[in-house]
Amino acid sequence: MNAVPDPPAAVFAEHRELLFGIVYGMLGTVADTEDVLQDVWLAWERRSHGAPIEHARAYLVRVAINAAIARQEAVKRRRETYIGPWLPEPVMTETAPDAADPALRAESVSLALMVVLESLTPAERAVFVLAEVFGYAHGEIAELLGRSPASVRQLAHRARSHVQARRPRFAVDPAVHRQVTERFMAAVAGGDLDALLGLMSPEVVLNCDGGGIGPAAGPRPMHGADRIAALLVGRTFRRSEGLAIEFRPVNGSPSALMVREGRVVGVLMLELAPEGDRVAAVYAVTNPEKLTTLH
């Protein structure tokens, strides 16, 4: 007796988390990712009325990645008129991502790396996300994108080289990362400028995404430990009433959530320097439109 195929909705639900991870890694926004997944679902539901699809996962990933590439131009146009620095929309990760679970890998891509991915071409980003984040082989990617294996290898090399040049890889101890984050926030909340300066590299950069709605550091990234420390301490004192700090993993990194009346009003993440215990960059998201999925 032939097995009864799973209903289309059940098959889509089985792969939805993987699809979300791939598309989010391509676009960096939850709303656009959900829109793409809706399009993928509609395409899948229509296709399911025809002949059975032997490799449902490959089909869904192919549709999702191509839909994400097609949507990137519209996303890019919106960012051209965005007020102030643009950062990807943060995604909560309740547990430390397991490299063996591909559905969780994109959520483990730090905001710092997501920012670098913005400078890749759509094809380079697709190859990087599939290969480096989800572990797809070049031959598999070639089939998914309708390209030759040689072309995929070239794209992968260019993407890796670009990412490595912008953000060299080094291992960060998660325990140290969390400890530095907690010490950093304690210094900010306590108004301890000396402690805060001691945690930051002199050339530290602050990227604050308020989108013209939430608090921001200005229209461009801010440079220099002295300026950043003074801004953070002063702003926290002015806005600290009723503000609680929670430490949660966001995009796979220890992060500080600023919570007021049960609502997340800001997220702060630190990128550590190669020596591992000094802050090289601060990423803050205060645009309320990018915080609606955090709770």
Specify the pLDDT at position 172: 79
Residue from 72, 188, 60 nearest 124 by CA? 72
3-state secondary structure of 281: strand
Specify the pLDDT at position 102: 47
3-state secondary structure of 148: coil
Share the mean pLDDT of the chain: 88
Q: What percent of the chain has pLDDT over 70?
A: 90
3-state secondary structure of 101: coil
Specify the pLDDT at position 48: 77
Evaluate if residue 199 carries a pLDDT over 70.
yes
Question: For 219-232, what is each residue's pLDDT tens digit?
Answer: 889 999 999 999 99
Evaluate if residue 96 carries a pLDDT over 60.
no
Task: Give pTM, 2 decimals.
Answer: 0.87
* Residue-range domains of the chain with CATH: 8-166 (no CATH), 174-290 (3.10.450.50)
Evaluate if residue 284 carries a pLDDT over 60.
yes
256: left (phi over 0), alpha (psi -120 to 50) or beta: beta
Looking at residue 97, the DSSP 8-state letter turns out to be P
Question: For 27-74, what is each residue's pLDDT tens digit?
Answer: 999 999 999 999 999 999 988 776 777 889 999 999 999 999 999 989
Q: Residue range 247-270: average pLDDT? A: 93
Say which amino acid occupies 171.
Answer: A
